[in-house]
Amino acid sequence: MRRIIVLIAVISLCAPRPCLSCMWDSDTLAMERQKFPEAHELIAGHFLRHSRAFYEWRIADRTAKASEQQRPGDFDDIAVAYDKLGQHDAAIETILSKMERWPDQGQYESEANLGTFLIHAGRFEEGLQHINRAIEINPQAHFGREVYQKLLVEYVIQQRTDHDGLPLRTEELYGQTGFANFVLTSQEIDRTNKEVVSNEIGNAVNGILGMMRFGNHDSPIL
């Protein structure tokens, strides 16, 4: 099982724009209700997902609305589309505009999206603050998967700090610095209870797979 978590959460600290994703737009809930791809399908990119042309169309469609017709969800759609196209700064600006215009609506979605966009832009510490706020607002969003996004970001920050930005050696990934160990330690899991340990690692695996499904399946970190 440890080899599985290492396979799908291996840290590539050289990646300039890693994608750790729990984003929210009008497609997210519908996709979450569909049959979830298997791990090998996600790793290989063998699952249905939108094209770049779709996200370009979505931006044009939502921005074409008159200002008085726009709704908070339109801004989420635009922001996620920008992020999917790799335009992280535009995604951040869009979601900040939404939060300024509707400060009391869709607070979870705004915090989760903003945190994710900042992380994708390489601004890990800033993004983590907003992910923490999103979890406080709705701990069970994305079926509780967001907790593992938070843990993975914390793990990346720690490894970058401990290794001066250098990639980990293979033996380190399988040792006491691996993400599986980090999850168990952070969650204060009783390691003598094999069933509890297995369940927690399984939840972490599902969390990472969810980020691959709804974020970027080919992210080096994921």
* pLDDT score recorded for residue 146: 84
Cα separation, 112 vs 156, whole angstroms: 18
The winner for highest mean pLDDT among 52-56, 144-148, 152-156 is 52-56
Cα separation, 217 vs 21, whole angstroms: 10
Cα separation, 115 vs 136, whole angstroms: 13
Cα-Cα end-to-end distance for the chain: 16
Cβ contact 19:216 at 8 Å: yes
Rounded average pLDDT over 87-96 = 98
Which region among 29-33, 43-47, 178-182, 206-210 has the lowest average model confidence (pLDDT)? 29-33
CA geometry: angle 151, 137, 11, nearest 5 deg:
15
* pLDDT score recorded for residue 6: 40
> Residue 142: which region, alpha, beta or left (left: phi > 0; alpha: psi -120 to 50)?
left
Residue 30 has pLDDT above 80, yes or no: no
Buried b (16+ CB within 10 A) or exposed e, 84-107: beebbebbbebbeebbeeeeeebb
pLDDT digits (tens, 9 = 90+) for 101-123: 999 999 999 999 999 999 999 99
* pLDDT score recorded for residue 10: 38
pLDDT digits (tens, 9 = 90+) for 150-191: 999 999 998 887 766 565 555 554 455 689 999 999 999 999
* pLDDT score recorded for residue 35: 67
Three-state DSSP class for residue 121 = coil
Alpha-carbon torsion (84, 141, 4, 174), positive or negative: positive
Residue 7 has pLDDT above 60, yes or no: no
Residue 144 or residue 203, greater confidence? 203
